[in-house]
Structure 1
Amino acid sequence: MKTVLIILPLVGLFFLVSGFLPLLFAPPSQLAISSISYENYFIRHKEVYYCGDLGTPKLIREASSKTFQVLTARFGHQELSSLYARDSERVYFKGKPVPSADPVSFKVLGYDLGCDKKSVYKKYQILTTDVKNFKCLDEYLSKDSKNVFLNEEIISGDASHFQFICQLQDLSCYKDRFAVYVGGKSYKVKDIEGFLHLEGRCFKDRLAFYTLDKNGMRESDLTLLSENLK
């Protein structure tokens, strides 16, 4: 009877430990991956893997495990692993090589934005070669000395006159010499030089008033304007 009582707890302990061991020694691809930290790379048996959005690990055949490094960047107030990585020969984004990127000088600028001494990259592609004058304006907008970009799309060729107007919750408002830009979308107004923000979603220039609603920016009369200012 004593033998049975001793064996039963030992059997239970064995199943408890055996249940946790796979979790303790499993590669990161088999664990829950945080979408915030972007820690999607791991090394196993001297091979480098990228674990994508679906949680399926993919071998990065070109990568060297000896020199592989996940690059970090500041997201908000935290220094976190990014989707960019490098070894001694290449730069990678989401596990795929970034053509022509220099691993020695490469640094992360944003979620899918990086640069080396020669070029600025959006994901895998060159965005601009004007590295010296490149600047991030917000999460989606950036510019160099000539163009303004919404992600990888050029929305203005008047970067030197591109200026901030106001912030409306998650919408950034800018203007250049030719148009007003709200959330990256351009709008023509009657007097761009005199265009300014009043309050809320109301604007004016020297010739007209404008309101911003779910359909975009449009010219408004004084009645509509006074209703929007309430």
Structure 2
Amino acid sequence: MNLRITYIKIIFRMGILTFLTNFFASCSDTRSAFKPGFLAAAGYYVRQGKVYYYGGFNNASAKELLGANAKSFEVFDEISHGQKGTSLYARDDKHVYYAGELLRNADAQTFKVLGSELGKDNNHVFSRTSVLSNDPENFVELREGFYKDSKTVFMGDRIISDDPENFSFLETMDGITYWSDSKGIIANDIRMDSADFHSFWILRYGYSADKDHVYLIEDASLKVLTEIDPKTFRVLSQYYTMDENRVYWRGKVLPHSNPDSFKILNEEVHCSHDGERAYHWNNIIPHVNPAKFPDDKRCKYCTDKEVVF
């Protein structure tokens, strides 16, 4: 019985797929600048002199782009990371669209695609359908998704700095790009204005430091680790760090830890010890004696109650 029900479900799904394929294939127009097929380039379709946009299976039906000129309609090409693809931007002789939405005040004749969500004409720079900058002449890409015009620095559609003249690249480390301007340090889209630029240095796994503090970028937020000594601070691994006094798990103190005898048992499952105490994450595992740990076996895992080899 279960096999029969499964077979019926498969036949039903194949029927739905065939129906959708035939429907969208019928939407094609060989006179248009593209061939829609089952899933057209970027979701745009031309049928019987009209233009439609279908954004995916979460939408009930294809939406007609009222006023669009099917004869002049075309989808922009997009170059991303050296690869050519199809943009969500499209145009006819008078209008520009993004994912089927009209870009108001966009000039179709001078419009160009800058990235997956960026485009510009002679008057504006657009992020999707919104105006990002009114200075397209000076709008340029920096690196790592950062752009600037003559007055502002952007990361995506967010304003990062109002000092483009002094905006300078420092380093990219473990997915975080560090910059500076005249006001301080920027890590991705996070300002670190409390950091001292002249003594600032970048470390692994989201850590950085200056002469006074250690900083941690985690979960898209900045943490100032005021209790850590930056002069003796060391990054041991993605999760473990130390200074001359203590060991830390992502900035949290391992209680009573001894940095001189500290050892990571298993980084992946967050097990460690300092010769006297064993830790899971930053918690002491009670009634466990590291002196009895075998030297010839690898730690498989640990919990707040035990260490298993």
TM-score range, shorter chain: 0.7 to 0.9
What is the TM-score when the length of structure 1 is the normalising length? Answer: 0.76
Equivalences for residues 1-230 of structure 1 within 5 A? 22=22, 25-27=25-27, 31-32=38-39, 39-53=42-56, 54-55=58-59, 56-138=61-143, 140-199=145-204, 201-205=206-210, 207-214=211-218, 216-219=222-225, 220-222=228-230, 225-228=233-236
Q: Identity of counterpart residues, as a percentage?
A: 28
Cα offset for 1:152?
2.5
Give the stretch that moved more between structures: 181-190 or 63-72: 181-190
Report if the CA contact (8 A) 1:165-1:196 is conserved. Answer: no
Are the aligned partners of 1:177 and 1:193 in contact in 2 as well (CA < 8 Å)? Answer: no
Q: Does the Cα contact within 8 Å between 2:72 and 2:93 map onto a contact in 1?
A: yes
Output the amino acid matched with 1:150: M
Identify unmatched segments of 5+ residues in structure 1: 1-18
**Rg larger in 1 or in 2?**
2
Deviation per residue, 1:145-187 (Å, 9 max, x gap) = 2111233332211111111122133322212121322220112
Report the secondary structure of 2:105's partner residue: coil
Output the aligned Cα RMSD.
Answer: 2.9
Give the match's secondary structure for 1:132: helix
| Letter aligned with residue 49 of structure 1 | Y
Q: Which has the higher contact order (CA 8 A, sep 6+)?
A: 1
Verify the 8 A CA contact 2:25 2:37 in the aligned structure 1. no
Alpha-carbon separation, structure 2, partners of 1:143 and 1:228: 36
Q: Which structure 2 segments of 5+ residues have no match?
A: 1-17, 29-35, 242-309
Structure 1 residues 56-98: Cα deviation after superposition (integer angstroms, max 9, x where no partner): 3110012100100101110223211101111111111111221
| Secondary structure, aligned partner of 2:234 | helix
- The one-letter code sitting in structure 2 at the alignment partner of 1:81 is T
Equivalenced residue count is: 207
